[in-house]
Chain A
C-alpha cells in the first residue's frame, strides 16, 4: 500500500498507540504494541499536531509558522517521519 500522505489526509495514531511523558527519563515516548520509541523534540512537535482532525497540509502550515521554516522543507521531514510510523502500523488516516 502507498504510505504517502496527501495534503487532505488526516493522520491519526491508531488505537493502542500513544504519546506519554516519560517521568523517569524525561521527554516523551511513543508507546505502541510491544514497542517504545523515544521522541526527539521534532517528533514531539509533529505528534502534538496529529489528532485525527488536522490535515497533513494544516500540520505542515502550523509547523512552518511555529518554527519560521519553509513549508516545503518541513513537508518533506514530516512526510518521512509519519510514513515511518505508518509503515510500522502505528499511524493511519482518519
Chain B
C-alpha cells in the first residue's frame, strides 16, 4: 500500500479542454465515449484546476482536446495557466487558430505549440483527418507560428499509410522551424483498435523507420530534437506507459474526471473522481484509482522477478485489459508475457487485412455534429 510520503508529485498534466474537434482521425486518443459540449468545465473551473495542479507540483500543462481551439475561452485559459506558473503547451491541429488568436495566445503567456501532422500532402492529411482543406489551413498557421518565433513541436502521427513519407516529414519539420519532432507511431487504444488493419505498419516499414530516425537524430543534433514512439506490437518489451501509473502524469477529461492516463476509462472496474467533487491533491495521493497500479508491489510475475521491473513497470494497464483480459496482467506486448500470442495473432490479422482495410473514423459525441 502506498502512502502519501512515498508518492512523488506529478510533473505533467494533460487537460482535455473539450472533445469537440473538426477532425475525425481514426486513431484519436480520446475515449470512444466522447463527452458533449454541455458537460465541459467552464473557464473558472479550469483556472481553479490549473492553480491546484501548480500547488501539487505540476510543471508542464498540456492544453489539449479534441481541438482546444474549439474553446472560445482558450486565451483566458492559457493566461490562467501561465499565471499559475505552469509551462503552457498548446496541442492543436491548428484548425480554429488565426493570426489574431496567435497574437492573443502569445500575449497571454503561451510557451509552446505542439502541432499535429496527419500527412505531408493535402491528399494524405485530409484523408486521415477526414477534413477537406485542413492541411492547407494547418500549413498557413504553421507559417504564422514560425514568423512569430513561437517554439514549435511537430507531432507526426505515423502508421502504415504514411510511414513511407517519414524522410519528407523530417525535412518538413526543419522547414517549418520546429525545434522538436515527435514521430509517434499509432498506439492501439480506443479508436485505433478499430483500425489495426489499416494502420499497423509492416515489419519492413518499422525496421526502416528505426534506421531513418537514428540517422536523422545524428544528422540534426542541435537543429531538431527527435522523439520516437515505435509501434509497440513489434517490440520485445512493453512501453513504460505514463512512466508508471500515478507516477509522473495525470489527465483531465472535459468534465473534470481525473485519469492516470488518457485511456484509463476503459478500466471499468475502477471509479475515477472528478475535480469538481474532490481536491486534485486528494485524487492524486489518496484515490483508489490512482493507487490501484502505483509502484511495483502489485506486479505479477514475470514482471516481479524481471530485471526490467523498474524500467517498464509491467507496461500498459489498458492494453493488458484489452488484449490479455486482465488489467493487472503483464502487458501482453512483452515477449515474456503469457498473453504475447494474442498480440501476435492481432498483428498477423492486421497485416492480412492490410491495404484492403477501410478507415473507421472517429465520430463525435451524440449531441455534436460530424464534419462533412
Contacts and interface: CB of A to CB of B under 8 A. Distances in A.
B151 A88 contact: no
Interface stretch (A27-35, A47-55, A60-68, A69-77): A27-35
Interface string B232-266: 00000000000000000000000000000000000
Interface stretch (B21-29, B56-64, B341-349): B56-64
B221 A25 contact: no
Contacts of B59: 20, 22, 29, 31, 36
Given A31-B59, A33-B179, A34-B112, A14 B223 contact: no
Contact of B149 (A15, A23, A29): A15
Interface size class of B (residues with CB under 8 A): 20 to 34
Nearest to A91: B222
A16 B221 contact: no
Which of B55, B114, B223, B225 has the largest count of A CB atoms less than 10 A from its CB? B225
B280 to A, nearest CB: 13
Contacts of A33: 89, 111-112, 114, 151, 153, 179-180
Given A86-B222, A87-B221, A34 B56 contact: no
Interface of B: 9, 11-12, 55-57, 59-60, 62, 85, 87, 89, 111-112, 114, 149-151, 153, 179-180, 221-225
Interface of A: 1, 3, 14-17, 20, 22-25, 29, 31, 33-36, 86-89
7 contacts: A1-B222, A24-B56, A29-B59, A34-B112, A89-B222, A89-B223, A89-B224
